[in-house]
Amino acid sequence: MKVEAIHLRRPQDDDVHAVETVEAVAGKGLTEDRYYFADGAGPGLALTLIEAEVVADVGLEPGQTRRQLTVSGPGLLDLVGKRFRVGDVECFGVEICAPCLHLQELTRPGMIKELVHRAGLNADILTDGTISIGDEVVPL
């Protein structure tokens, strides 16, 4: 798998914006990201990832799912309960993301049903480092 896109939400207005690279902070989240970094992330909320193929399948653009990392290639959900690396950042896959009503309100009716059991991965960040577009996602 490979990082295809990185999207963050601005602290001041919650707008989603794309970046080329971002700093990850162990136990906290991604710098410049409103929710995950501001108060320190709870378990499984430091990093969110989704497969690019799923995003395309439901007719959305990267970033519209509000997941921070969009990755290409299958096998993302196989990382639940496992350690993996994104670039030089070590992570732990906590659980499958559940699609939410807010996402459906931002997109279209039926989005929750389309994303059940494939809305991405919630992960913890275990080591500080940088994540960039093009970085490999590697199981450890």
1 token code pair:
């798998």
Contact 68, 6 (CB under 8 A): yes
**pLDDT tens sequence across 57-78:** 988 888 888 889 999 999 999 9
Q: Residue 130 is inside which H or E element, if any? A: strand 129-132
Residue 77 resides in a domain:
yes
Residue 49 resides in a domain:
yes
CA distance 74 to 88: 20
Residues spanned by the domain of 114: 2-133
CATH number at residue 93: 2.40.33.20
Alpha-carbon torsion 52, 41, 97, 113, what sign? Answer: negative
Domain count of the fold of the chain: 1
Q: In which region does residue 27 sit, left (phi positive, over 0), alpha (psi from -120 to 50) or beta (all else)?
A: left
Residue 139 resides in a domain:
no
Contact 67, 120 (CB under 8 A): yes
Residue 120 is given by DSSP the state -
Residue 34: the pLDDT is 73
**pLDDT tens sequence across 81-136:** 999 999 999 999 999 988 877 776 777 888 888 888 888 999 999 999 999 999 99
Residue 38: the pLDDT is 56
Residue 107: the pLDDT is 78
Task: Supply the pTM of this predicted model.
Answer: 0.90
Residue 130: count other Cβ atoms within 10 Å of its Cβ: 13
Residue 140 resides in a domain:
no
